[in-house]
Structures are given as structure tokens and as C-alpha cells.
A and B are shown apart, each in its own frame.
Chain A
């Protein structure tokens, strides 16, 4: 029997499969459904202090190879998030990761402090939403492209909470390893990588960009090579665990992510291509692969491509 168990900053997980932030994460009932469908951990939709309406439609485009989104971090705000996480914790044993974002290190710390009252197992810092704008975010600059900014946010949030902090990084940078190093040195307990890669689609029919925000973030099978490279580089740079995310659609993709150095595997866009059943399907494909390749545990696969 193969062993799919893994660990993330002291959290025991039945398998490495984690629901990525932004997918079905608005209410406890959706998260509970995903957990029941085989995700060992679920990440909430990123939230901030006040909440946001997000951008107008079209916000999400998708085909068999990729998804492009500019939801614009729509969320109902921290008070609402605390309610949903607290309810989830009463209903489910699964690991829950509270994802947060804000426009300054101080505000990041404030959301981290507030969300901690709902006791999520881990907190993820969304440092890297591409093209954020709107009320309160007029001068927003991506924290994830600058080691100093990453370090400031991680330090501020570490002071505000005892819950382990994961820093979520963007692939839209020259050297992601350095940025992961900055997060680790500032005290981060883990890294999530990657967020979406910048992209856009133009309609030839209308001769216009399709997303109302013009630019968006690319996810799904098309970004798997970018995600693998990022996780591989991060693994070379830091000791803390990595939630490897980006383009995982099959059990074999998940195994590749472990081999690159991930301790857990984030799954988002696959819920579009394969439905919520994606978690069960990927889990059984991983089991098959491990049996066939005489691999007894997840632990022995983590980072093996580096040997």
C-alpha cells in the first residue's frame, strides 16, 4: 500500500492535494464539498479588510489548454471570512488555509491578526495578484517582485499571528528562488508557488481585448512548465516546504510537482477540466503511479529530480 500522507509546517495531511485559492472558496459549504471530494486541504478565496466587488465581466475565459482570469480579488471582506472559516472548522476535519491580501504590510498584519481569531491551520499571503487596481489599491504594486517588499510583509504578519505563514509567489519575475529566500529569511514557514502568469486574449471578431480588465492571469495545463521550473528553483534556494501549484491536472502532473520539490500540490484549474471529482481522480492516479513505480511514500519523492 502506498502512503500519500504529507506534512506542511506541522499540519498532517491525508494526501498532498490542496485546493488552490480562488476556486470555490467563497463560503464554507463549497470548501466542505471540495474537502469531501478528496482535497486534504482547502484554501479560501483571498480576502482583505473591506472586501471588493472585483472587475466587471468578462472575468474568466477558458479552453482545453488554459484559463485566463481577472476576477479582481472579489471577496466579502474579513468579517465575512471569519464566519465562513469558523463554520468550516465546526463541520470539517480537513486542513484549511486562510488566504489574505492587502495594500501595505501594516494592513496585511491587521488582516492576519483578524483571520487568526477563526483559527485556520495556515495563513497564505497572496503577495502577487497581477494588475490589481480599484478603491484603496490605486497605488498598489506587486509585493512579489521585490525581495524587500516580501520581507516587510512577512515580518509584519509574523508579528501579528502565531499561525504558520506561507508566502505565495508570482512567476512573473526573473529569479523566483531569490524571492523565496527573502520570504524564508523574514520568517515564512512555507512557500506557495505559483500564482497565475500574466496574459491577455484579444477577440479577432471584435478587434478588442476580451477581459474587461484587458490583462489577466493565466493558469491550467499551459503554465505547468513555468510552475515546475519555479518550484525546482525555489527548492534549490530554501528549506521550508513548498505547495507546488500551477497546471496540475493529472496524477502524473502531481508526481512531477513532488519531484521538483513540492511537499504538497495545489489544484485549481483542473476543477474546470475534470470537475470537483478532480481530487479523487488525481489521488487514485497518483496511487497507481506509485504502485507501478514501486514508490512507497510521498516523502521519498519530494525533490527527487534534484538528485
Chain B
């Protein structure tokens, strides 16, 4: 039969190394690998706590970066080298290798898959420049990691505590006037991706976003992550921006655990 599905039964992965990125973000490297592409995600299970989607930061070895913000991520953050978590995946779509020069625009943990892309792109001779957006200087992560992959890095903070004062989208608009890019790839808060999609459309630059919704099954069947009939976990998360822009949902509302609409 036409095999398009990913088995979803967690296997134990062992933490081999931990790097602290900032006051609340850590990167866990594991002993195991998970063959996958930039933009794909894994389901990470902490027995007795929860199981949540996490962007893949690297495949060989497998690694994730996460912010300790709530019940699950704080419990994860408390683990040490040698501890095990359950991992299944990879799930979802990934960023295409098409353009020769790509603008990466990341906010929050959105920088994670974009960094993975920058690493793969470099090997394929694709030039990337990265915009990292955050509220404040202390929330900027991965700037050094992007530089390590040979990317020119631009920083935007809401309060101007470092780099450009304003949103990542405003900085992208400025940059796109000065330089030519073949594509825009974005991952981060939905309103950022929404405005960037509209900008890409205006400038006729193909734009890919990583659309996220509350996820349960991760395999495209339960419907929890619907974005106007597109399942973010299987038809996404990476989608060419025309698809989310054509829905009634994108940039307007998301859904809670029960499926009720929650306005942005």
C-alpha cells in the first residue's frame, strides 16, 4: 500500500548533552538520531506529564530547543544528562530547497527549524540571511548559531534594546527593499507570519510559513489542528502562504483543546 504515514509510538531517547541558550531556553542533544528535514517536528513524551510537539533542531544527532514556560516545558527543563524522554516522528512537511537566496524570519522558538534549514542550505550552496525578532534583548536566541552556519544575522526588538527597533516584519520590509531574495521562510508567532505572508504577496516573493495549532494526534486524523481544513500536523506545518491566507482562520483565530475558536 502507498506508505505515507509515520509510525507514532514513542521510543526512549537519552539526553547526552545540554546547552543553556538564555534565561529560559535550553537545547537538549540526544544519543539517538531522527532522520528528518528542517521544518518537521517530533512528539516528545514525558511519562506522567504530557506529550507535545517540538521542532527538530538537528537530526544527527537529534536535538530540540525549548523555552521553559509551562507545565510540560518546565518539567522537561528539569531533566539531566542521562535521563530519557519518549520521541516519535518526524511529522509534517518541511522547507523546500528551491531558491538560491532565502530570507529566514524567526520569532520565539521559530528560529529552531530555520537554523536547521540554514545548516542544510549551506551544504547545498543556498545563501541565507536571518531576521530574529523578539520583545527584548534577553529573548534573542540562536544569533551565534546562525552566524556559525554562515548567515548574515539581523535583529529586531520591540523595545530597541538591541538591533532594529520594531517588528521582524518591519525589518523584513526594509531589507527586501535593499536586497533581492528568492523566497521568504518564516516560523514564529502567527500574527508575524500573517503580516509577512501579506508582504510576500505584495512583493510577489514566494513565502513559506510554519502554521501551528494545538496538536493531539500529530498524524492528521483527529482534526484538532485544523486551519480551515488543512491539518497543520500533516499538510503543514510548512505551507506556501497562499494556503493559510485563503482560509478564514489564519491570523484570525486558533482553537483550544476542545476545538472552540479563540480569537487572536
A: which residues have CB within 8 A of B? 22-27, 29-30, 32-33, 45, 51-54, 56-64, 67, 69, 71, 74-77, 80, 201, 203, 205-206, 208, 210, 212, 249-250, 268-269, 271-275, 281
Contact = CB atoms under 8 A, between A and B. Distances in A.
Contacts of B224: 26, 74
Contacts of B8: 60-63
Contacts of A60: 8, 216-219, 221-222
B220 A272 contact: yes
Interface in B198-227: 216-224, 226
A275 B231 CA distance: 11
Main secondary structure on chain B at its contact with chain A?
loop
A248 B70 CA distance: 40
B47 A208 contact: yes
B8 to A, nearest CB: 5
Contact of A59 (B48, B216, B220): B216
Contacts, number: 145
28 contacts: A23-B222, A24-B223, A26-B226, A27-B228, A30-B223, A51-B259, A53-B256, A53-B257, A57-B43, A58-B45, A60-B217, A60-B221, A62-B5, A62-B8, A67-B221, A74-B216, A74-B257, A74-B259, A77-B260, A201-B9, A203-B12, A205-B86, A210-B45, A268-B221, A269-B221, A272-B220, A275-B2, A275-B4
Interface string B69-111: 0000000000000001010000000000000000000000000
B9 A272 contact: no
Contacts of B47: 203, 206, 208
Contacts of B229: 27, 29-30, 32-33
Interface in B212-264: 216-224, 226, 228-229, 231, 247-248, 255-261
User: Looking at chain B, what size class is its interface with the partner chain?
Assistant: 35 or more
A59 B84 CA distance: 20
A30 B226 contact: yes
B52 interface: yes
A67 B50 CA distance: 19
A23 B9 contact: no
Given A57-B216, A60-B222, A206-B84, A29 B247 contact: yes
